[in-house]
C-alpha cells in the first residue's frame, strides 16, 4: 500500500498548492485564526496540531498578533474574556464549539467585547464543524482547506 499512500499524499499536496494559488490570485492577505470554545473556557489555536494547515504547514495564512505572541509555536493557549479585545487585528475568525459548551459560547458571543471585534462587525466570524476541525490528518485538513476557501473566497 506504499504506492497508494504516496499517491494520496501527492494528491493532497496538489490540492493544497491549488488552494494557496487561489488565495494568492485573489490577493488575500488578511489574518486568520481559530478560536476554540469548551465548557468553562476558550482559547486560540496556534501553528501546531489542528490548525497547522492554516499556517506554516499548509495554506501559509497570516495569524493575528495574539496567535503569533501566545500560540504560534504551540497548540493552544487559553485566554480570558478580558483578553478578547486583543483579537482586534484578526480579520477572520473561525470558531469551533464543543458540544457541551453552549453556555460558555453564549457568554462569549453575547459579550460586548466579542461584538466589538472588527471581524465580528464585518461578518467574518465562521462557525466550523468541530469533528472535522478538531481532528488531524489528510481528510480533516482537506475539509479545513475547503471550509477556509468557502469562507474567505466564497467558493
Q: How confident is the model at residue 95 (pLDDT cuts 50, 70, 90)?
A: very high
* Res. 23: pLDDT tops 80: yes
Do strands 92-97 and 76-79 pair parallel, antiparallel, or not at all (unpaired)? unpaired
3-state secondary structure the chain: CHHHHHHHHHHHHHHHHHHHHHHHHCCCCCEEEEEEEECCEEEEECCCHHHCCCCCCCCCCECCHHHHHHCCCCCEEEECHHHHHHHCCCCEEEEEECCCCHHHHHHHHCCHHHHCCHHHHCCCEEECCHHHHCCCCHHHHHHHHHHHHHHHHCC
Q: How far is CA 106 from the centre of its chain?
A: 20
Model confidence over 139-149: pLDDT tens digits?
Answer: 999 999 999 99
**CA–CA separation, 41 and 121 (whole Å):** 23
Q: How confident is the model at residue 126 (pLDDT cuts 50, 70, 90)?
A: very high
Q: Over pLDDT 90: what percentage of the chain?
A: 77
What pLDDT was estimated at residue 57?
Answer: 83
What mean pLDDT is predicted for residues 81-110? 94
Model confidence over 38-75: pLDDT tens digits?
Answer: 999 999 998 888 899 999 889 999 999 999 888 888 88
The domain 2-149: what is its CATH number? 3.40.50.1980
What pLDDT was estimated at residue 123?
Answer: 97
- Straight-line distance from the first to the last Cα atom of the chain, in angstroms, rounded to the nearest whole number: 33
* Res. 21: pLDDT tops 90: yes
What mean pLDDT is predicted for residues 13-21? 96
**CA–CA separation, 155 and 150 (whole Å):** 4
What mean pLDDT is predicted for residues 14-29? 96
Domain locations in the chain?
2-149
CB 72 within 8 Å of CB 11: no
Amino acid at each position: 500500500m506504499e504506492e497508494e499512500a504516496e499517491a494520496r499524499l501527492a494528491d493532497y499536496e496538489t490540492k493544497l498548492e491549488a488552494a494557496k494559488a487561489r488565495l494568492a490570485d485573489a490577493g488575500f492577505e488578511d489574518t486568520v485564526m481559530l478560536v476554540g470554545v469548551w465548557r468553562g473556557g476558550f482559547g486560540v489555536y496556534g501553528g501546531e496540531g489542528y490548525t497547522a494547515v492554516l499556517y506554516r504547514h499548509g495554506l501559509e495564512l497570516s495569524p493575528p498578533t495574539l496567535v503569533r505572541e501566545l500560540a504560534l509555536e504551540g497548540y493552544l493557549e487559553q485566554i480570558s474574556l478580558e483578553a478578547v479585545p486583543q483579537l482586534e487585528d484578526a480579520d477572520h475568525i473561525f470558531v469551533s464549539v464543543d458540544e457541551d459548551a453552549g453556555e460558555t459560547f453564549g457568554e462569549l458571543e453575547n459579550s460586548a467585547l466579542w461584538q466589538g471585534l472588527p471581524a465580528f462587525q464585518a461578518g467574518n466570524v465562521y462557525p466550523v464543524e468541530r469533528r472535522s476541525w478538531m481532528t488531524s490528518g489528510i481528510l480533516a485538513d482537506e475539509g479545513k482547506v475547503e471550509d477556509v476557501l468557502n469562507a474567505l473566497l466564497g467558493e
